[in-house]
A and B are shown apart, each in its own frame.
Chain A
């Protein structure tokens, strides 16, 4: 189990491993020493929980490293977390590039299929290259993506800001009452 746990620690981002790897190994070792005194079933349950916790932790740390946000399972600091500032997830440009690549590939594939259809099968209504080219479609897609992104960003920003303001308003009387 200890060997498996050490391998699972390699699933964590390098920075996390550098900071906490040795400590986590120490805790896992102490846990195993304690489990040695228990029955087989208790050992199985505890080991399963540890493996699950390490896997979830690795995913969580990668999400945090990629986006700067805490994904939430397990231990949200509080149950509903609202931020007064807006963060643009770093993974979004990567995801958008992948989607764009997929769209361009689909367009190219469609053109290849169009070219492979014999001219006798005219009932399909072949698309003329003069009417449909990759570049205008790409530009149109990019512009539409930018507009949609800007609208979504504005809505998210307005909602978070208003939520933050409401919390600030609620905070003041709550603090006074705890100080009394």
Chain B
């Protein structure tokens, strides 16, 4: 897959949107929650990432029935989901290999 590996903020944004469509603030909170407060995106960084993901068609705008002014929800596209699956597969493989190598060897 040509776009892998993903950077951590992009991976977390995609994971956040994999569950359900979310608007900007909800993505920020969810990313913070998933990373145990380690990754805190600023608003400027988040919207730079969202613009790029929209341009690459990994995410799309999602029209909510009850959306307040100034709130726009986003959701994963089929392509975004496919890339996320490939990245998760890559990470699983890496974790498996690393776990085998760091496990204590039998004497």
How many residues from B make CB contacts under 8 Å with A? 36
CB distance from A12 to the nearest CB of B (A): 9
Whether B47 is near chain A, meaning CB under 8 Å from some CB there, is yes
Residues on B with beta carbons closer than 8 Å to the beta carbon of A77: 3, 6-7, 10, 52-53, 56
Q: A26-B24, A77-B52 are in contact. Are A53 and B44 (CB under 8 A)?
A: yes
In chain B between 72 and 94, which residues have their CB closer than 8 angstroms to a CB of chain A? Answer: 72, 85-86, 89-90
Q: Are A50 and B44 in contact (CB under 8 A)?
A: yes
Whether A60 is near chain B, meaning CB under 8 Å from some CB there, is yes
Bound-complex Cα distance A64 to B51 (A):
11
| Chain A residue at minimal CB-CB distance from B58 | A77
Grouping DSSP codes into helix (H, G, I), strand (E, B) and loop, the A interface class, with mixed when no group exceeds half, is helix
CB distance from A28 to the nearest CB of B (A): 6
CB distance from B2 to the nearest CB of A (A): 6
Other-chain contact of B45, A16, A56, A174 (Cβ < 8 Å):
A56
Bound-complex Cα distance A20 to B4 (A):
27
Bound-complex Cα distance A24 to B49 (A):
13
Q: Are A54 and B24 in contact (CB under 8 A)?
A: no
CB distance from B68 to the nearest CB of A (A): 8
CB distance from B71 to the nearest CB of A (A): 6
Interface residues as binary, A24-49 with B (CB distance below 8 Å gives 1, 0 otherwise):
11111111000000000000000001
